[in-house]
Structure 1
Amino acid sequence: MRAYSSLRQMQDSGICVDNYKTNERDGVFAARLDYKRWGKNRNILAYFTFEDGNKVMASAWQNTGYLGIPEIEEGALLTLTFERAKNGISYLRKVERNEGQ
């Protein structure tokens, strides 16, 4: 499925993402891609459920090739790498499909 074009389109489809928060930890996490939508700043917003049940929203940008997120189907199992930047924010840096996906 293609990424939703807006938050409004997601809401109109009955999808609520209020429980998704930004990730504050750095490290490597197993996760499932729940939803994805285009942002307003040449970015894509991805909504993940981590293996521990945490619901996380992360952004990927055009200059990183969106980390391949537009081509990944919803429901795919992934390994995500987050790295903390100098500003203290943990950013999504790498997205890998798990074997067999």
Structure 2
Amino acid sequence: MRAYSSLRQLKEKGICVDEYLTNERDGVFNAQLDCKRWGKKRNVLAYFTLEDGSKVIASAWQNTGYLGIPEIEEGAMLTLTFEKAKNGVSYLRKVERKEGQ
């Protein structure tokens, strides 16, 4: 499945994403892709559980090829790279599958 089409579709499937927050840290994190959906601004929103148990949401945009997120199956183990921009916001910059996954 590529990505859910809306937040409403997630809710209809019984998927609650209320616990997910924007990641405010930069760095490299191991994470599981929990689910994904299309945003309203030609972006994909991905919901991850980090290795420390934190639940984060991140956007990927069309100009980056959505970082490959639409093609990654839910449950996949990944390495995520977040970088802080000049405005202080930490953005998802790279998504890699963990070796053997």
TM class by smaller structure: over 0.9
Q: Secondary structure at the match of 2:68?
A: helix
- 1:2 CA displacement: 2.1
Per-residue CA deviation, residues 50-78 of structure 1 (Å, 9 max, x unaligned), is: 00000000000000000000010000000
Amino acid at match of 1:40: K
Query: Could you say which residue in structure 2 is the equivalent of 1:11?
Result: 11
What does residue 78 of structure 1 align with? 78
3-state secondary structure, aligned to 1:96: strand
Gap regions ≥5 residues in structure 1: none
Aligned-pair RMSD on alpha carbons? 0.4
Show structure 2 runs of 5+ residues with no match. Answer: none
Runs of 4+ in 1 over 4 A off after TM superposition: none
Q: Distance in 1 between matches of 2:39 and 2:33?
A: 17
Task: Output the amino acid matched with 2:57.
Answer: M
- Cα distance per residue 1:36-57 (max 9 Å; x no partner): 0000000000000000000000
Q: CA shift at 1:28, angstroms? A: 0.1
Output the TM-score relative to the length of structure 1. 0.99
Number of residue pairs matched by the alignment = 101
Question: Following the alignment from structure 1 to structure 2, what is the Cα–Cα distance between the partners of residues 55 and 99?
Answer: 22
- Counting only pairs closer than 5 Å after superposition, residues 1-101 of structure 1 correspond to structure 2 as 1-101=1-101
User: Structure 2 counterpart of 1:12, which letter?
Assistant: E
Counterpart CA distance in 1 for 2:76 and 2:15 is 18
- Tell me the distance in 2 between the aligned counterparts of 1:69 and 1:82: 15
AA in 1 matched with 2:60: A
Q: What SS does structure 2 have at the residue aligned with 1:53?
A: coil
| d(CA) in 2 for partners of 1:32, 1:52 | 11
